[in-house]
Amino acid sequence: MEPYRIKVVEPIPVLTRDERTAAMRAAGYNPFNLNADQITIDLLSDSGTGALSAAQQAAAALGDETYAGARSYYRFRDAVASLTGFEHILPVHQGRAAERILFGALIAPGQLSVSNTHFDTTRANVHLSGGTAVDLPCPEAADLDSDTPFKGDIDLVALAEALEGPTEVAVVVMTITNNGGGGQPVSMANLEAAAAITRAHGVPFILDAARFAENAWLVIQREPGWSDKTPTEVARAAFDLADGAVASLKKDAIVHMGGFLALRDPDLATRCEAVLIATEGFRTYGGLAGRDLEMIAVGLEEVVQPDYLRARAGQAEHLASLIEKAGVSIVRPPGMHALYLNAGRLLSHLTPAQYPGHALACELYVAGGIRCAELGSLYLGVEDETGTLVKPAPYELVRLAIPRRTYTQSHLEYVAEVIAEIATSPESVPGQRLVSAPPLLRHFHCRTEPV
Ligand code: F0G
């Protein structure tokens, strides 16, 4: 049961199937081109899409918009410091700004950033700093169907090899939970071991802590020795292992905008602060309004409440069980922020070159007004000059991201009904063909058509 009730509502559009078919065609079969007015249930992202609490809105009214030294900054700083224990805390407008500033200071051209899995923007910021991003997910992550509890872990043997390898490792980044790796959690045992190996080589160990509370909750549920701890204690134990953290607060601070860069090393913090001031804003607001800083401080307290986390995990599990009952596979076990549908298996009549994940994402919109994103060969595959897919993605997935406190159980049951209806005749879902695709970030811009 959700531990909150609804006080403010926003109507959601419900279009006819014909209207949705026309909207999808006009969008070039790219869900990123759809407008909010055309979408019934938006599962594109859990980022910045959560519902604010009354307490957050009340705090926003106290927002102090003083240019330097705002009261709101100190409330933000104290909330982040008491959660993480880091000494140097820089506000940023969102997670990717923290990545850009930190990697610019840490990575020299030719060096490596090693991770359990870099999120897209994290990878892009490593590359912008002249480095190369290397993902070392644990071997268990490759089996989508296994119920191994911590498929977000890093491969410790491969990490040790990378740290000893010929190319210098500038930073190790642990993404908790592992968004690019199916939303799977990272165990405390893996974090401890990875931190020890990394520290032994004198390399900074950084958390990408966008979903720190959800990772903590899954540790409490799944990892021996942690079941009697609070989410705050587990999160703190994770931060204690790290030299610093970048975080998008649009996830686990349940706000629409915000992030932080937190560090222990005063020299590194000073270098980052100079770039922060030049590109984001003064060190006491960093691209955020006072009211944002206030809402973050409250959100960071709300997100670690066990009742909230239990209900959030329960929503994901409930949706997962309805989807599996309809005969559709997901990446197991279900995490918390998203479910990943195995589109390759459901649409087995399509080849990777017909982009089954993308085809399913388009069908979910046409059938039910549900928007979500493909994580398969459209996003990760490689084509030759003629547009022929020469290197498909390892999996053809569709991510259903679940915004925080936004949709009720009946909304999610509706999503499951639409998926179940598609699963009654999956062979009727047409494949897709690329019509146009820019070379960079093509999944945001490309156009396709049914074949
Ligand atoms: N790290 C992780 C693990 C993320 O999931 C995201 C964003 C970022 C960093 C970047 O943060 O958006 O505040 O700049 N993930 C969103 C998503 C966009 O839909 O998964 P940001």
ipTM: 0.99
Structure tokens at 32: 């990123």
Rounded distance between C-alpha atoms, residue 272 and residue 179, angstroms? 26
pLDDT-based confidence at residue 443 (cuts at 50, 70, 90): confident
For residue 251, the CA-to-ligand 1 centroid distance in Å is: 8
| Residue 40 clears pLDDT 80, i.e. is over it | yes
- Annotated catalytic residue within 54, 67, 267, 391: 67
Query: What's the pLDDT band for 386 if we cut at 50, 70, 90?
Result: confident
Active site residue 67: yes
The pLDDT tens digits for 130-149 are 999 999 999 999 999 999 99
pLDDT of 196 above 80: yes
Average pLDDT over residues 426-449: 90
Closest ligand 1 atom to the C-alpha of 337?
20
Ligand 1 interacting residues, C-beta cut-off 6 A = 45, 47, 94-96, 119, 121-122, 175, 179, 208, 210, 248, 250, 259, 401
Q: Is 208 a catalytic residue?
A: yes
With 90 as the cut, is the pLDDT of residue 442 above it? no
Ligand 1 atom index nearest CA of 121:
10
Asked if 205 contacts 195 with a C-beta cutoff of 8 angstroms, the reply is yes
- Distance from the alpha carbon of residue 294 to the mean position of ligand 1, in angstroms: 21
CATH number among 3.40.640.10, 2.60.40.3080, 3.40.50.720, 3.80.10.10, domain 54-302: 3.40.640.10
Task: Say how many Å lie between the CA of residue 47 and the centre of ligand 1.
Answer: 7
- Give residue 49 CA to ligand 1 midpoint distance, Å: 12
Q: Is 251 a catalytic residue?
A: yes
**Ligand 1, atom nearest to 211 Cα:** 3
Q: Which CATH superfamily is domain 17-46+306-450 in?
A: Aspartate Aminotransferase, domain 1 (3.90.1150.10)
- Regarding pTM above 0.95, the answer is yes
**Cβ density class 347-379: b for 16+ within 10 Å, e for less:** beebebbbbbbbbbbbbbbbbbbbbbbbbbbbb
User: Which pLDDT tens digit goes with each residue over 258-268?
Assistant: 999 999 999 99
CA nearest ligand 1 atom 8, residue: 95
Q: How many helices (H) and strands (E) does the chain have?
A: 18, 16
Domain boundaries for CATH 3.90.1150.10 within the chain:
17-46+306-450
User: Annotated catalytic, 201?
Assistant: no
Q: What is the mean pLDDT of residues 73-91?
A: 98
**E-only strand ranges, 181-300:** 205-208, 244-248, 259-263
The closest alpha carbon to 72, from 249, 400, 246, 291, belongs to 291
